[in-house]
């Protein structure tokens, strides 16, 4: 049997949550991450697998029946994952239409998956309808994005446009923009359902006065999404109180779309200004 601690998905998970902690995004038990595991991959490491325990999820997710996830534990600290992965992480397989989860490995102190498991599983289901290659859902509390939700309009188009204008790279990294939920009680099925609905149109969902959710195909890409949005929010907070002299115009953002082959969220940029007589109705 292959050594589970050497599995690429395990090595990458430990590396990423440690990195998230080092970025200051996951104080104390803040944040949670789940990765959908490829069946062929995890079976190499857990061949004669049986359920150690069955944990009730409190929701249904029939689309995820039989699927396996590597997930962070409730009340656990990201900074401790590297020292005791088997306590702070778990591998679970959903069954009974998602109503129960079989614990296959981990949470060895009797623990359980993150309190945000509903938001994670519902977001996986929603994102995989848009992108069947989606495998990761990540939540954390980055300070600048969080701070921005206290001083900036929560209108999704306005919030996204501000971020796009803060760094040239933003529109390339998240052309689908950022969706925003108003403050809601966390850890509930309600916030899970609301997050999943927002995930249908964007890979980033801000939870006002709380943090951010991101979805992606792998841990690196998903981390990079949050990192880029957080950097833009940092720049916004550095300049928000100063007179704005320059910005990235919509025309420039359109140029980025063309150069990098991305398409900004429909209607979130001003229509392209096309020069020439046809635009002014002066056709000869
Ligand atoms: O588990 O971040 O939203 C800690 C959290 C809850
Ligand atoms: Zn949180």
Task: Report residue 199: phi and psi, to 5°.
Answer: -70, -15
Question: Ligand 1 in contact with 88 (CB < 6 A)?
Answer: no
| Nearest ligand to residue 72 Cα | 1
Residue 284 belongs to a domain:
no
Same structural domain for residues 99 and 41?
Answer: yes
- d(CA 187, ligand 2 centre) in Å: 8
The enclosing domain of 240 has a CATH number of 3.40.225.10
- d(CA 234, ligand 1 centre) in Å: 22
Same structural domain for residues 261 and 160?
Answer: yes
**Token pair recorded at residue 271:** 């229509």
The residue whose CA has the least distance to atom 4 of ligand 1 is 30
Residue 148 belongs to a domain:
yes
**Token pair recorded at residue 197:** 């609905």
| Tens digits of pLDDT across the chain (284 residues) | 689 999 999 999 999 999 999 999 999 999 999 999 998 899 999 877 899 999 999 999 999 999 999 999 999 999 999 999 999 999 999 999 999 999 999 999 999 999 999 999 999 999 999 999 999 999 999 999 999 999 999 999 999 999 999 999 999 999 999 999 999 999 999 999 999 999 999 999 999 999 999 999 999 999 999 999 999 999 999 999 999 999 999 999 999 999 999 999 999 999 986 654 444 334 33
Question: Ligand 1 in contact with 142 (CB < 6 A)?
Answer: no
Same structural domain for residues 91 and 208?
Answer: no
Residue 2 belongs to a domain:
yes
Q: Which atom of ligand 1 is nearest to the CA of 26?
A: 2
Same structural domain for residues 59 and 141?
Answer: no
Asked if residues 2 and 45 have their Cβ atoms less than 8 Å apart, the reply is yes
Positions marked catalytic? 116
Same structural domain for residues 107 and 138?
Answer: no
- pLDDT value, residue 275: 54
Residue 107 belongs to a domain:
yes
Mutate to test the pocket of ligand 1, among 21, 116, 185 (most ligand atoms within 8 A of CB): 116
Question: Ligand 1 in contact with 29 (CB < 6 A)?
Answer: yes
| Nearest-5° Cα angle at 68, 87 to 204 | 90
Number of domains in the chain: 2
Asked if residues 233 and 142 have their Cβ atoms less than 8 Å apart, the reply is yes
Question: Ligand 1 in contact with 116 (CB < 6 A)?
Answer: yes
**Full residue range of the structural domain in which residue 51 is found:** 1-115
- pLDDT value, residue 276: 47
- d(CA 173, ligand 1 centre) in Å: 25
Q: Which atom of ligand 1 is nearest to the CA of 115?
A: 1
Among 87, 115, 143, identify where a domain stops.
115
Question: Ligand 1 in contact with 97 (CB < 6 A)?
Answer: no
Residue 221 belongs to a domain:
yes
Q: Is the dihedral of CA 22, 24, 25, 30 positive or negative?
A: positive
- pLDDT value, residue 4: 96
Mutate to test the pocket of ligand 1, among 20, 29, 185 (most ligand atoms within 8 A of CB): 29
**Token pair recorded at residue 77:** 């600290």
Question: Ligand 1 in contact with 30 (CB < 6 A)?
Answer: yes
Question: Ligand 1 in contact with 112 (CB < 6 A)?
Answer: no
Same structural domain for residues 163 and 256?
Answer: yes
- d(CA 141, ligand 2 centre) in Å: 6
Same structural domain for residues 144 and 259?
Answer: yes
Q: Is the whole-model pTM more than 0.85?
A: yes
- d(CA 141, ligand 1 centre) in Å: 8
């Amino acid at each position: 049997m292959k050594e589970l601690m050497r599995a690429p998905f395990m090595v990458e998970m430990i590396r990423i949550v440690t990195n998230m902690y080092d970025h200051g995004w996951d104080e104390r038990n803040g944040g949670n991450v789940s990765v959908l595991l490829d069946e062929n991959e995890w079976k190499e490491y857990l061949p004669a697998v049986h359920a150690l325990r069955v944990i009730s999820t409190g929701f249904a997710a029939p689309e995820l029946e039989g699927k396996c996830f590597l997930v962070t534990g409730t009340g656990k600290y990201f900074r401790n994952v590297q020292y005791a992965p088997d306590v702070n992480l778990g591998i679970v397989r959903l069954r009974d239409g998602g109503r129960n989860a079989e614990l296959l490995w981990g949470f060895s102190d009797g623990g359980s998956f993150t309190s945000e498991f509903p938001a994670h599983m519902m977001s996986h289901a929603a994102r995989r309808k848009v992108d069947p290659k989606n495998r990761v859902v990540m939540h954390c509390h980055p300070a600048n994005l969080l701070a921005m939700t206290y001083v900036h309009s929560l209108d999704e188009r306005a919030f996204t446009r501000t971020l796009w204008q803060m760094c040239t790279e933003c529109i390339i990294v998240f052309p689908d923009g950022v969706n925003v939920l108003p403050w809601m009680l966390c850890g509930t099925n309600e916030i899970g359902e609301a997050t999943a609905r927002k995930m249908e149109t964007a890979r980033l969902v801000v939870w006002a006065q709380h943090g951010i959710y991101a979805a992606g195909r792998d841990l690196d890409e998903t981390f990079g999404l949050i990192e880029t949005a957080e950097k833009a929010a940092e720049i916004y907070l550095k300049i928000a109180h100063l007179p704005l002299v320059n910005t990235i115009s919509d025309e420039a953002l359109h140029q980025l779309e063309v150069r990098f082959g991305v398409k900004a969220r429909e209607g979130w940029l001003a229509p392209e200004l096309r020069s020439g007589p046809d635009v002014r109705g002066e056709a000869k």
